[in-house]
Amino acid sequence: MIMIKAEHIYKKFGTLEVLQDVSLEVHKGEVISVIGPSGSGKSTLLRCLNHLEKINKGSIQIEGSYIAGEDAHGKKLSIIKKELSITEKEIRLTCKKIGMVFQNFHLFPHKTVLQNIIEAPMTVNKMSKAEAIKEAELLLQKVGLLDKRDVYPSQISGGQKQRVAIARALAMNPDIMLFDEPTSALDPELVGEVLTVIKELAKDHMTMVVVTHEMAFAREVSDRVVFMDQGQIIEDASPQKLFTDPDHPRIKTFLEKMI
């Protein structure tokens, strides 16, 4: 089953073309790592996949439903022009299937760990408080932080904050998880605890796209590794192929500096 299908997408910020003819398919249960130099369009690609950024050209489908671009008949969707093929409400419903974890946690500082996790299920999914708490405690146990349920974000480490952010995203019961450099804001000694949680999700066959600078993680956990440079996908291959025998010399140069 194809969970994400992006076809020939382009994204500009002013005159700067950040994504150029990018196509990507992600199947159910796959873990895709996206690597490449800073400024190559990796984070922008993720933000387009969950509609945080609107593409200028191309199309994106999530589990067969268009959220951007053209429908099966070539008709432009509302995201590109005003010819209404789908509504913003329909797009938002489709995007609820996607959970996203950012570099910098984005936790509510005035809410406890538990309150951070139950907020969206109660507000968006209209879940009862008792049910939301029950699910949140299960998720906190999953990420190893049940003992921190009643503390505030300022009282826990960066690695713990990121694990809370992962639990918060999972609380919406997504089919797909997107991770935008989830360890880049962490001290080196805290990176492992976050990667361990993501590895556990991989074992549970969660469909994931992970933008990362952690080459060992990408090599160990990914089904495929996508290398981006200057707004394009240069190679999409198995970890074995990309890390040992990449097709493009730019990848070899990058890996020599990273590994």
CA distance 141 to 131: 16
101 conformational bin, left if phi > 0, alpha if psi -120 to 50, beta if neither: beta
Taking Cα atoms as reference points, which of 116, 239, 222, 97 lies closest to residue 172? 97
Cβ neighbours for 150, distance < 8 A, ≥ 6 positions apart: 112, 113, 114
Entry pTM:
0.93
CA atoms within 13 A on the CB side of 219: 11
Give the Cα separation of 28 and 40 in Å (integer): 26
pLDDT tens-place values along the chain, 259 residues long:
999 999 999 999 999 999 999 999 999 999 999 999 999 999 999 999 999 999 999 999 999 999 998 755 666 665 544 444 678 888 999 999 999 999 999 999 999 999 999 999 999 999 999 999 999 999 999 999 999 999 999 999 999 999 999 999 999 999 999 999 999 989 999 999 999 999 999 999 999 999 999 999 999 999 999 999 999 999 999 999 999 999 999 999 999 988 6
Helices 158-170 and 113-123: angle between axes, nearest 10 degrees:
20
Which tokens in the block code for residue 125?
Answer: 């999914």
Contact indicator for 28, 207 with CB cutoff of 8 Å: yes
